[in-house]
Amino acid sequence: MGPRMAKVVEVNGPLVTIELADVRTGEQVRIGRLELMGEVIARHGEHALVQMYEPTESLRPGEPVEALGHPLSVELGPGLLGGIFDGVQRPLLEHAKQHGDFIPRGVHIPPLDRGKLWCFEPNPEFRIGMQIEDGAVLGTVQETPTIAHRILVPPGMGGELVELVSACDITVEAAVARVKQADGVIAELSLFHRWPVRSPRPYRSRDDAVAPLLTGQRILDTFFPLVKGGRAAVPGPFGAGKTIVQQQIARWADADIVIYVGCGERGNELVDILESFPKLTDPNTGRSLMERTLLVANTSNMPVVAREASIYVGVTLAEYYRDQGYDVVMVADSTSRWAEALREVAGRLGQMPVEEGYPAYLASRLAAFYERAGRVQTLAGGNGSITLIGAVSPPGGDFSEPVTSHTKEIVQTFWALSKELADARHYPAVDWVESFSGYVASCSGWWAEHVDPRWAEQRAAALEILAQAEELARIVNLVGPEALSPQQRWALQGVALFREGVLQQSALDPVDSYCSPQKQFALLDQMLSIYEHGLRLLEFGVPVQELLRLPLLAEAQRLKGSYSNDQLDELRSFAARVDGEFERLHSEYAQHAKAEP
Amino acid sequence: MSEKEYRLASAARNGLLYMRGVPDIALGDRVVVRDHSGRRRNGQVIRTSNELVLIQVLEGTDNLDLENTWVRFLDQPFEIALSPDILGRVFNGIGQPRDERPPLFSKLKRNVNGAPVNPAARAYPREFIQTGLSAVDGLNSLVRGQKLPIFSGSGLPHNRLAAQIVRQARLPGEESQFAVVFAAMGVSYSDARFFRETFADSGVLRNVTMFLNLANEPAIERLILPRAALTAAEYLAFDLDLHVLVVMTDMTHYAEALREVATAKGDVPARKGYPGYLYSDLAEIYERAGRIRGKPGSITMMPVVSMPSDDITHPIPDLTGYITEGQLVLSRTLNNLGIYPPLDIPPSLSRLMKDGIGKDHTREDHARVAGQIYASYARALEVRNLASIIGAEDLSETDRNFLDFADAFERRFVGQREDEERNIVETLNLAWELLSLLPPEALTRVGAADLDKYHRWHGTQAEQQ
Ligand SMILES: Nc1ncnc2c1ncn2[C@@H]1O[C@H](COP(=O)(O)OP(=O)(O)OP(=O)(O)O)[C@@H](O)[C@H]1O
Ligand SMILES: [Mg+2]
């Protein structure tokens, strides 16, 4: 349906009623003399209700409206990576260049730079006259030094290949292929196409292969792992560290592409990424991190309705790179703000709120969003994945509220952040009792093969010691530490070793910010070994005070920051020293015991 | 400008005026309402169609009839006039002078709602501001362009603290050069006077622009006030290149006014009767702090939020904490012990501290020593709790060290005089002096090199003898 004209009837905050029959829900409209962007969300007789992506101040009844004939769509093509786009994919860097520091209204700049030139390398296997399928790789454009951008036949556009060119210095709009469709029409394909954000992109099938998503964060990788194609949530009260967890993942995860969606959060957090990522290198490729990163930003002061759209814009971009055969990680900070945007619109529509003002469809919308994660066989025949990681910001830090509780049902990995840990500056403040991961069993194969066969066992042993902590702390609080047996007092020390030596990991520590899987295991193994050595000596009759005095305990807790990922040898020689030290204590006591039987 | 007056009000209640049959009115426009006695009130269009226009009346709808109420649509949004002369002036909530001096004449007028800063145009704030307060500078450092609220409660000295920060804030080694925008919403007359006198005494009054709405003045005006104040602050910072410190007190009164209007409009409440959009509304205000790439000025914001019943999970402090870049929380317990400033350390946080401190800004050990103090104080509080159950005598020697540490930390580090300014080196040295009450094995957040350089452990009592 082409563009049609209508007029404004009523303006009520971000909702505008227009008079226009024949418009579809979901259709994009431009409203008023300023041409503000909006989306039709409901129809009532001759009237349509529009939610606006831009502030409606100064809009009047009677102003003109244009319906654009298509739903909210994104442009997919080379030139996305390294960029920052708003919630409806307007390019913010270009915006700042053309319109200054504040965002004006009614400005429409195409997402992909129309002036930028690319080199297109056609798929050498394709011959004219061949039947080419939806989603097939027409050719490639080197988007960044590490990412070959595969130009795909847009779904629905497959057919007989009539022409395919090799061309350099072309813009995204240049035609590179012509395809004869089933109806005989010849379609021109360029370097980009559009896709409606609320429709998941098609793929061939789901794929069950598993590989862990390695983030370099010990409490995540070792204790509550996530897999490529998995779904995770990071709930926590304000200041508990959700954003830092997500930024750490964006920095260090072994993914090909990272899409960071700042949904209703702070502008400065996005600038932080824009300023720091170009200077950081990807530990896996050695290239600047910005080359694999794409930001979608609807900060908290930007219009609420575009916030709702930003999540879909982000995940559609993620699907597009997945379809090219890449492992994509998308972090969304915060899904609560997205849910609040839903609530806001539902409230103004007069829909019946069910819990805390949220509409009844909150749970199904959340589930549908997370359903877009997964590892798939792409239409082109390769493999790609989307890992979705959503922050959740529960009011008052109360996890029983609707967004947290629905999310918890949907995700497989749940990194619960605790205020107590954050208040003690124990970061990442992931609570090891509340958190869970459904991927432990599937990850243990990878760890056994690539790092150490004892991984699953050691991990479980550490968690068991940590689990005792609560109980012991309760006893201490009732009757004091003297009431504990030597073994129990040593277990408390064991907890301290794991907390400080393994779990605590500062994102700001240059040495410890990223921890390789090998170092993760070495630290875990070291703390367990100290603990077990101690237990044996206790059995042998060595007083627990003697053990608690050992200077190597504090040293062990500082290992993580003392030796880098490349200094595993130093970690090994520390381990040897530990063995020696306990050996010495053991023989001292053996003599002692002999001397006075 | 259409100067036509209408007398078509169909209803007036809860601060809202309903007008029937006034066509082509723009959303957000200003109106002037003239009542039966000739008194003028200010209003704003919050919903518009040719059938019905909804007006929010800032001075409320008490004592209005429908027959003798005249409404004039000014065909312009809420704007304030801006010029360098706003410094030293006092305005009401909508930017009209209340200091008995003539109104400001200037061609430059700006819409109080501003426009959102393009996140891609921001510059990340990283310049350390020394406030002279150890608990802030050492543990929760403020940087230029940060928004750092004070969470307080009734009877706690948030005003004194804010005033002390205004007096003392400067970059290390420089004279203070902050222009101050002071936004007071629903404060008492004596609080307003306290700030005025503080500014006068410290000789900064010439550099202060005040926006005042007192407790007995129209509540709805508070919805415009912080926006007017921030429009002024943006002008000072990004047109005149000044470093601006914005003190806003009390955001709780602001949010209550918002709730009042939301309830009158019938908006769906989320928590405690506050509308679901409270988060976005507060963010529109708080996100106006910051820095812009290529511009020398900055807006540093210090809102005061009083926590109803000292409850940090109440929607107003909670949503504020979700938007601002940390928070300074005041503690009733420390206040009762006579400790000033009574900063509750565990829940206090400065998120922008990480990039504003260290070798290039303060000292190389700063981040680690702050992390260590936090960790040690958390443990010390556990020990104190334990001591209250089992008695201090039964504590281990190390635990007793922690008890001493907690006391000394609260009294000597957190506590200081209201006129006392400690520079950052003094603060960090004091931190080490207190950490020296604890054995080195207990300090695993600092490096071995830090311990060598700064830690002066005198040994356990047994070792000393
Ligand atoms: N892994 C970490 N290492 C070091 N510091 C951390 C870490 N995680 C969090 N922090 C500290 O805690 C602060 C708050 O973290 P963050 O901004 O991630 O919280 P948040 O949960 O996203 O809060 P909000 O919901 O308000 O956005 C950070 O600014 C940083 O100082
Ligand atoms: Mg965050």
**pLDDT, tens only, A252-291:** 999 999 999 999 999 999 999 999 999 998 888 888 999 9
Strands A231-235 and A383-392, bridge-based pairing: parallel
Q: At what angle do helices A304-323 and A335-348 cross, to 10 degrees?
A: 130
How far A179 CA lies from chain B's nearest CA (Å)? Answer: 39
Q: Where are the domains of chain B?
A: 5-76, 80-352, 366-458
Residues A253 and B384: their CA atoms lie apart, in Å, by 41
How far A480 CA lies from chain B's nearest CA (Å)? Answer: 6
Nearest C-alpha in B relative to A299? B119
Q: What's the complex ipTM?
A: 0.93
Look-up of token digits 């992931």: A430
- Residue of B185, B193, B146 whose CA lies nearest to B169: B146
What share of chain B has pLDDT > 70, as a percent?
98
Domains of chain A, start order: 4-71 (2.40.30.20), 113-191 (2.40.50.100), 205-440 (3.40.50.300), 455-595 (1.10.1140.10)
pLDDT of amino acid A3: 62
Residues A266 and A264: their CA atoms lie apart, in Å, by 7
- Give me the tens of pLDDT residue by residue for chain A, a chain 597 residues long: 556 778 999 999 889 999 987 888 899 999 999 999 999 998 888 899 999 999 999 999 999 999 999 999 999 999 999 999 999 999 999 999 999 999 999 999 999 999 999 999 999 999 999 999 999 999 999 999 989 999 999 999 999 999 999 999 999 999 999 999 989 999 999 999 999 999 999 999 999 878 999 999 999 999 999 999 999 999 999 999 999 999 999 999 999 999 999 999 999 999 999 999 999 988 888 889 999 999 999 999 998 889 999 999 999 999 999 999 999 999 999 999 999 999 988 888 888 888 888 999 999 999 999 999 999 999 999 999 999 999 999 999 999 999 999 999 999 999 999 999 999 999 999 999 999 999 999 999 999 999 999 999 999 999 999 998 888 888 887 777 777 899 999 999 999 999 999 999 999 999 999 999 999 999 999 999 999 999 999 998 899 999 998 999 999 999 999 999 999 999 999 999 999 999 999 998 888 777 665
Angle, vertex CA A34, rays to CA A28 and CA A38, nearest 5: 20
What is the SS3 assignment for A94?
A: helix
Question: Does any ligand 1 atom lie closer than 6 A to the CB of residue A243?
Answer: yes
Residue in B313, B325, B394 nearest the CB of A268: B325
Quick one: which ligand is closest to A561's CA?
1
Nearest C-alpha in B relative to A482? B394
Nearest C-alpha in B relative to A264? B280
Question: Looking at residues B174-191, what average pLDDT do you find?
Answer: 88
Q: Do B287 and A84 touch (CB under 8 A)?
A: no
Interface probe for B, chosen from A47, A109, A302 (most Cβ of B below 10 Å), is: A302
- Residue of A257, A268, A271, A262 whose CA lies nearest to A319: A257
Q: Do B276 and A299 touch (CB under 8 A)?
A: no
Radius of gyration for the alpha carbons in chain B, expressed in angstroms and rounded: 25
Residue in A58, A262, A477 nearest the CB of B28: A58
Q: Closest ligand 1 atom, CA of A241?
A: 18
Residues of A in contact with B120 (CB under 8 A): 84, 92-93, 95-96, 270-271, 274, 297
| Of A217, A234, A242, A244, best ligand 1 pocket probe by most atoms within 8 Å of the beta carbon | A244
Q: Closest ligand 1 atom, CA of B321?
A: 26
Residues A325 and A503: their CA atoms lie apart, in Å, by 34
pLDDT in tens, A415-445: 999 999 999 999 999 999 999 999 999 999 9
Residue in B26, B290, B394 nearest the CB of A267: B290
Q: Closest ligand 1 atom, CA of A217?
A: 1
- Are A25 and A41 within 8 A, CB to CB? yes
pLDDT in tens, A465-518: 999 888 888 888 777 777 789 999 999 999 999 999 999 999 999 999 999 999
Look at residue B112 and tell me whether its pLDDT is greater than 70. yes
Question: Does any ligand 1 atom lie closer than 6 A to the CB of residue A264?
Answer: no
Residues B192 and B176: their CA atoms lie apart, in Å, by 22
Look at residue B291 and tell me whether its pLDDT is greater than 90. yes
Residues 6+ apart with CB under 8 A from A429: A236, A240, A241, A417, A418, A419, A421, A422
Residue B201, preceding peptide bond in cis (omega within 30° of 0): no
Number of CB atoms found within 10 A of residue A57's CB: 19
Residues A241 and A506: their CA atoms lie apart, in Å, by 11
Residue A334, preceding peptide bond in cis (omega within 30° of 0): yes
Look-up of token digits 């990283």: B126
B136: confidence class by pLDDT, cuts 50, 70, 90: very high
| Cα end-to-end span (Å), chain B | 89
Q: Do A482 and B394 touch (CB under 8 A)?
A: yes
Show the tokens assigned to A363: 């749970």
- Are A196 and A72 within 8 A, CB to CB? yes
pLDDT of amino acid B1: 43
pLDDT of amino acid B465: 56
- Are B288 and A102 within 8 A, CB to CB? no
Residues 6+ apart with CB under 8 A from B368: B445, B446, B447, B450
What is the SS3 assignment for A188?
A: strand
Number of CB atoms found within 10 A of residue B190's CB: 8
Look at residue B216 and tell me whether its pLDDT is greater than 80. yes
B73: confidence class by pLDDT, cuts 50, 70, 90: very high
What is the SS3 assignment for A212?
A: strand
User: Cα-flanking dihedrals φ and ψ of residue B328, to 5°?
Assistant: -105, 120
- For B5-76, CATH gives 2.40.10.170
How far B194 CA lies from chain A's nearest CA (Å)? Answer: 32
Question: Does any ligand 1 atom lie closer than 6 A to the CB of residue A427?
Answer: yes
In three state form, how does the secondary structure of chain B look? CCCCEECCEEEEECCEEEEECCCCCCCCEEEEEECCCCCEEEEEEEEEECCEEEEEECCCCCCCCCCCCEEEEEEEECEEECCHHHCCCEECCCCCECCCCCCCCCCCEEECCCCCECHHHEECCCCEEECCCHHHHCCCCEECCCECCEEECCCCCHHHHHHHHHHHCECCCCCCCEEEEEEEEEECHHHHHHHHHHHHHCCCHHHEEEEEEECCCCCHHHHCHHHHHHHHHHHHHHHCCCEEEEEEECHHHHHHHHHHHHHHHCCCEEECCEECCHHHHHHHHHCCCEEECCCCCEEEEEEEEECHHHCCCCHHHHHHHHHCCEEEEECHHHHHCCCCCCEEEEEEEECCHHHHCCCCCCCCCHHHHHHHHHHHHHHHHHHHHHHHHHCHHHCCHHHHHHHHHHHHHHHHHHCCCCCCCCCHHHHHHHHHHHHCCCCHHHCCCCCHHHHHHHCCCCCCHHHHC
Residues 6+ apart with CB under 8 A from B62: none
B176: confidence class by pLDDT, cuts 50, 70, 90: low
Residues B374 and A422: their CA atoms lie apart, in Å, by 10
Q: What is the largest CA-CA distance in chain A?
A: 103
| Cα end-to-end span (Å), chain A | 98
pLDDT of amino acid B394: 79
Show the tokens assigned to B27: 């959303």
Strands A137-142 and A148-152, bridge-based pairing: antiparallel
A591 exposure class (CB count in 10 Å sphere: 0-12, 13-18, 19+): exposed
CA of A546 to the centre of ligand 2 (A): 44
What is the SS3 assignment for A365?
A: helix
Residues A519 and A496: their CA atoms lie apart, in Å, by 19
Residues of B in contact with A103 (CB under 8 A): 115-118
Q: Report residue B217 CA to chain centroid gap.
A: 21
- Are A178 and A187 within 8 A, CB to CB? yes
Q: Give the start-end residues of each E strand in A210-250.
A: 231-235
What share of chain B has pLDDT > 90, as a percent?
77
Question: Does any ligand 1 atom lie closer than 6 A to the CB of residue A5?
Answer: no
Query: What's chain B's average pLDDT?
Result: 92
Question: Looking at residues B432-457, what average pLDDT do you find?
Answer: 93
Q: CA–CA distance from A71 to each of A1, A27, A315 (Å)?
A: 11, 4, 16
Quick one: which ligand is closest to A220's CA?
1
pLDDT in tens, B404-413: 999 999 999 9
- Architecture of B80-352 per CATH? 3-Layer(aba) Sandwich (3.40)
Radius of gyration for the alpha carbons in chain A, expressed in angstroms and rounded: 28
How far A597 CA lies from chain B's nearest CA (Å)? Answer: 29
What is the SS3 assignment for A431?
A: coil
Q: Report residue B390 CA to chain centroid gap.
A: 41
Residues 6+ apart with CB under 8 A from B266: none
- Are A387 and A259 within 8 A, CB to CB? no
What is the SS3 assignment for A345?
A: helix
In three state form, how does the secondary structure of A502-564 look? HHCCCCCCCCCCCCCHHHHHHHHHHHHHHHHHHHHHHHCCCCHHHHHCCCHHHHHHHHHHHCC
Residue A3, preceding peptide bond in cis (omega within 30° of 0): no
Question: Looking at residues B60-87, what average pLDDT do you find?
Answer: 92
Look-up of token digits 């000394």: B408
pLDDT of amino acid B462: 62
How far B354 CA lies from chain A's nearest CA (Å)? Answer: 8
B463: confidence class by pLDDT, cuts 50, 70, 90: low
What predicted TM-score, i.e. pTM, was given to this entire model?
Answer: 0.95
Q: At what angle do helices A455-479 and A440-450 cross, to 10 degrees?
A: 120
pLDDT in tens, B20-51: 989 999 999 999 999 999 999 999 999 999 99
Look at residue B381 and tell me whether its pLDDT is greater than 90. yes
